[in-house]
Chains A and B, each alone.
Chain A
Amino acid sequence: MATVALELPRKRTSAIPRSIRRDPPLVRWGLTLLALLALGVFIVLPLVAVFVQAFAKGLPVYLAAIREPDTLSAIRLSLLAAGVSVPLNLVFGVAAAWTIAKFQFKGKSLLVTLIDIPFAVSPVVSGLIFVLIFGAQGWFGSWLIDHDIRIVFAVPGIILATTFVTFPFVARELIPLMQSQGSDEEEAALTLGATGWQMFFKITLPNIKWGLLYGVVLCTARALGEFGAVSVVSGHIRGQTNTLPLHVEILYNEYNYSGAFAVASLLSVIAVITLTLKKFLEWKTKEGASK
Chain B
Amino acid sequence: MSIEISRIRKSYGAFEALQDVSLRIEKGELVALLGPSGSGKTTLLRIIAGLEIPDSGSISLNDEDATNSTARERQVGFVFQHYALFRHLTVAENVAFGLRLRPRATRPSEQDIRERVRKLLDLIQLDWLGDRYPNQLSGGQRQRVALARALAVEPRVLLLDEPFGALDAKVRKELRRWLRRLHDDLHIASVFVTHDQEEALEVADRVAIMDHGKIVQMGTPAEVYDNPASAFVYQFLGDVNLFHGRAESAETSVSYVRPYELEITPQAETAHGAVLAKVRHIAAAGPAVRLELLREDTGHALEAEITRDRYRQLRLSIGDTVGVTPRNIRVFAK
A198 within 8 A of B: yes
Cβ contacts A173-209/B at 8 Å (1 or 0 each): 0000000000011011111111100100011001100
Q: Is the CB of A206 within 8 A of B88?
A: yes
Q: Is the CB of A207 within 8 A of B87?
A: yes
| Interface residue tally for chain A (C-beta within 8 Å) | 19
Cβ contacts B95-109/A at 8 Å (1 or 0 each): 001100110000000
Residue of B82, B87, B98 touching A192 (CB-CB under 8 A): B98
Name B residues whose Cβ lies closer than 8 Å to a Cβ of A. 49-51, 70-72, 75-78, 80, 82, 84-88, 97-98, 101-102, 133-135, 149-150, 152-153
Least CB distance from A134 to B in Å reads: 43
Known: A184-B82, A187-B71. A192 touches B88 (CB 8 A): no
A-B contact pairs, 20 of them (CB 8 A): A185-B87, A188-B78, A188-B80, A188-B85, A188-B86, A189-B97, A190-B51, A190-B72, A191-B71, A191-B76, A192-B98, A193-B72, A193-B98, A193-B101, A195-B72, A202-B97, A288-B88, A290-B135, A291-B134, A291-B135
Chain B neighbourhood of A291, CB < 8 A: 87-88, 133-135
Least CB separation from A188: chain B residue: B84
> When chains A and B are docked, how far (Å) is the Cα of A193 from the Cα of B102?
8
Chain A contacts with B in 143-179, Cβ cutoff 8 A = none
Least CB separation from A289: chain B residue: B87
Chain B neighbourhood of A185, CB < 8 A: 84-87
Q: Is the CB of B101 within 8 A of A198?
A: yes
Chain B neighbourhood of A198, CB < 8 A: 101
Q: Is the CB of B150 within 8 A of A191?
A: yes
Q: Is the CB of A190 within 8 A of B101?
A: no
> When chains A and B are docked, how far (Å) is the Cα of A189 from the Cα of B153?
12
Q: Which of B82, B84, B85, B134 has the most CB of A within 10 A?
A: B84
Q: Is the CB of A184 within 8 A of B71?
A: no
Residue of A184, A187, A207 touching B88 (CB-CB under 8 A): A207
Known: A185-B87, A207-B87. A191 touches B97 (CB 8 A): no
Name A residues whose Cβ lies closer than 8 Å to a Cβ of B. 184-185, 187-195, 198, 202-203, 206-207, 288, 290-291
Chain A neighbourhood of B51, CB < 8 A: 187, 190-191
Closest 10 CB pairs of A and B: A192-B98, A184-B84, A191-B78, A188-B84, A190-B71, A206-B88, A291-B135, A291-B87, A185-B84, A191-B71
Q: Is the CB of A184 within 8 A of B80?
A: yes
Known: A188-B78, A194-B101. A203 touches B86 (CB 8 A): yes
Least CB distance from B83 to A in Å reads: 8
Q: Which of A185, A192, A193 has the most CB of B within 10 A?
A: A192
Interface contacts beyond A184-B82, A187-B84: sample of 9 additional A-B pairs, CB < 8 Å, sorted by A = A185-B87, A191-B78, A191-B150, A193-B153, A194-B72, A194-B101, A195-B72, A198-B101, A203-B86
Chain B neighbourhood of A206, CB < 8 A: 88
Q: Is the CB of A192 within 8 A of B153?
A: yes
Least CB distance from B84 to A in Å reads: 4
Chain B neighbourhood of A203, CB < 8 A: 86
Chain B neighbourhood of A202, CB < 8 A: 97, 101
Least CB distance from B21 to A in Å reads: 21
Least CB distance from B323 to A in Å reads: 37
Chain A neighbourhood of B101, CB < 8 A: 192-194, 198, 202
Q: Is the CB of B70 within 8 A of A187?
A: no
Least CB distance from A90 to B in Å reads: 20
Chain B neighbourhood of A189, CB < 8 A: 86, 97
Least CB separation from B73: chain A residue: A193
Least CB distance from A210 to B in Å reads: 11
Chain A neighbourhood of B152, CB < 8 A: 192
Known: A193-B72, A193-B101. A187 touches B80 (CB 8 A): yes
Chain A neighbourhood of B80, CB < 8 A: 184, 187-188
Chain A neighbourhood of B71, CB < 8 A: 187, 190-191
